[in-house]
Structure formats: C-alpha cells, structure tokens
Structure 1
Amino acid sequence: MPSPPSRTRIVEAAIGLLESSGRDAVTTRAVADAAGVQPPALYRLFGDKDGLLEAVAEHGFATFLASKRVDPDPPDLIEDLRAGWDLAVEFGLAHPALYSLMYSEPTRAASPAYQAGLKILKGRIRRLAAHGRLRVDEELAAAIIHATARGAVLTWLSLPEDGRSPALLTALREAMVTAITNQEPAVRETGPAGAARALRATLPEQTVLSGAEQHLLHEWLDRLAAQD
C-alpha cells in the first residue's frame, strides 16, 4: 500500500489538474502521472475515479473548515454572520473548480468535514435565535445562508470579468441578513426565562391554540419565567 503521503500527493495532484484544466482533465492516468505514482496505486487507495473525486471533495471541505474562524461569544452576532458568509464566498471564488465539485453531488453532505462546518454554522444560527435575532426557523436559516452563498459564487463566476461588481456580493449578503434576522432582538433577555416572558406576552394575540392548550402553555411558560 502507498504510504499516507502518497495519498495526499495524489489528492493534491488531482486538485491541481482540476483547478488548472477542469474536471475532464482529472483522469486516473493524468493524476497518476502528476503525482508520480503508478495508476494501480490510485485504484488501491480510491477504488476508481469517482472515489478519487470524493476524496478531492473531502479535502476541499477540510481545507474550508480549517479556514473558519470560530468565536463562541462574538461581540456582534450580525457581523459574525456576515463574516461567516463572506468567508464561504471568498473560498468559492478562490477555488471555483474545487467548489463546484464539492457541491455538485448531494451525497457529499455526509462528508465529515462538511458536517463539522455545518455544526459551526448551526452554532452561529443558534446564538442568533437565543438572542431573539432570528426571524425564521433555524433549519430554514441554514438553507438560506447556503443558497445565497452558493448562488453568489456561481453567479459571480458566470459573469464576464468586466461585469463582476463587488456590489453584487454585498447586496446578496445583505438580502440574506434581512431574510433571516430581526433588526432588533425579539427577546430582550437571553435565556429561557426571557424567551418565556416574551412568548407569554404574545399569547393572547394568537388564535391557533385552543383554550385548554393556551392554559397548559401558560403554565409551562410561568415555570420557565420563574427560573431567574
């Protein structure tokens, strides 16, 4: 079996071909030549070309993950959201061919590095929700962030170079921020007690719950609100 450095060298050779000449250039023969190994080494390590491309995509997710800056308690949650979005878009623009490969197959969402990155994003969204700044469901927020970032990258790359205005990226990012966040916190006090008080105050205005359901929910909210 080739040593671990050989595996890394093969993946890096494939990425070099991908970024310089496109996906069609990533053949097992070309990658083996670029990596300085025999083709059987690729088959032993990756199974086939699809297995090699999966490894390349995983390497891309791991590289992107390593570039993420995680602040567990950012001073400004909205600026933290913007910074995370900007980082994702910058990575895509810097590695267009690799980025396209990474997101071309839905099955790659199972990638360990992708899942680790998603966990970071969900943590960012959860902090927004806990501070009353999230205006949509957390899963929808994650989908909107992903959709706008990928759309920004692919749209930018589809434009002629003289038609690429940074204002486009700014506008898409701010549309994302507006879509998923409140300008002012919906809950002034963080934590379960503050959220319970805010929800309890709005209950008389809603008509979805029956009287019995409202009574039970009031009881639960009273308990949570008394936790201070």
Structure 2
Amino acid sequence: MRLEAITWDRLGDRLAERLLDLEPTDGSPWTRVALDGAPAARPDELAARVCEALRVRGRPSLVVGTEGFLRPASLRLEYGHQDVESYYNGWYDTGALWREVFDPLGPGGDGRILPDLWDPVTDRATRSPYAQLPPGGVLLLHGPFLLRHWFPLDLSVHLVLTPGALRRRTPGTEHWTLPAYERYDEENDPSATADVLVRADDPRHPAWNG
C-alpha cells in the first residue's frame, strides 16, 4: 500500500473535507467516525484536529473518547492490574457506548449523546450532562480496538505504529498492554479493514493512504 507524507494539520483538513461529502450508510442524519489506535498513536489529537477543521467549515461535531467509558475498577481490575485478557475484552463498556452514543445517532435517534460515563481516576460516574448533536453533525470517536465491535461507522481511520514504535512510544509501566495490540492486529487486521490508514511511527511526520 502506498502512503503519502502529510502534516497532522493537513491531515485533519483532508479528513474534514472528506466528511463534508460523506453520506451515512444507513440513512442516519449523523456521520459516525472512528479514529482507532493505541494511546501511543494519539488518536485523540487527530480527533481534535478534525473537529476544529469541521468547525471552521461550519459542520458541528462531537469528540468522544473511549477512556470515558471504562468499566469500574472492581470489574476492570478483577483479575489484577496487568491482565491482558481483561484489558482486551473487559476494560471498555461497549454496551454503554452503544446505548449512550451510537443508538442516539442511528436512524430514528434523537442525537442526545452522553460524552462520558466513568472517571477512572476517581472511579466514580462523571455525571456529565448530555450533549445534543444536531442533524448533519459528526461523531468523532477515538480509542483502541474500535474496529472489532461492529459499531455502525461511516468512516474508520486506523492509526498504525510498527511494533518497535509502539514499544518506544508506550510508557514502560504500560508495556504489559502490548500483547493486546498484537492480538488485535492478528485477529482483526485493522490496517487492511479501515477506510483510512495513517502511519504514525514518527510523531512529526505522519503518512496516509488518502
């Protein structure tokens, strides 16, 4: 696959321009986008860039991070603080993402989204107010392992790191999570299934297949 060098700001602009012309696949009034990648690839920063690029083009959007939908510590850490199986399959409350984010943005939904549910620092409910995304708006969901849940996405973006870059850019205290990303690649092949691939090995010089 041929990748084109690009700046992060230009990448945000190009994705925003693509979203302006994108029609939801199921007749929903909203466009749903996943920016999928390990925290080391910083999908949150790309989501923020796309959000700003959409704003200056007059298109409303809402950024939602899966870190706001972690399960309570009593469930997340039931098998210890470094259990790879739990991290891969049990840390994120995908049921809540469906209920509070995707269902309201489906056909017949009301666009009323809960932007986050649980604060992992305090291990308490965030009690955040609901946000209203008007028809024509764009959901920008960022986080890891997003392309394995059959979410109703209109565009998927995968930020990929080589194993070496992933290890270098992941804090040492989190190296125990690396086998989960290896498993994700083997079982789901997000680099091949995503609509847009972004190589983020060098944080200063990304490349993409757009």
TM superposition score category, shorter chain reference:
under 0.3
When the two structures are superposed, what TM-score results if normalisation uses the length of structure 1?
0.26
More helix by share: 1
| Higher relative contact order (Cα pairs below 8 Å, separated by 6+ residues) | 2
Greater Rg by CA: 1
Q: TM-score, normalised by structure 2?
A: 0.28
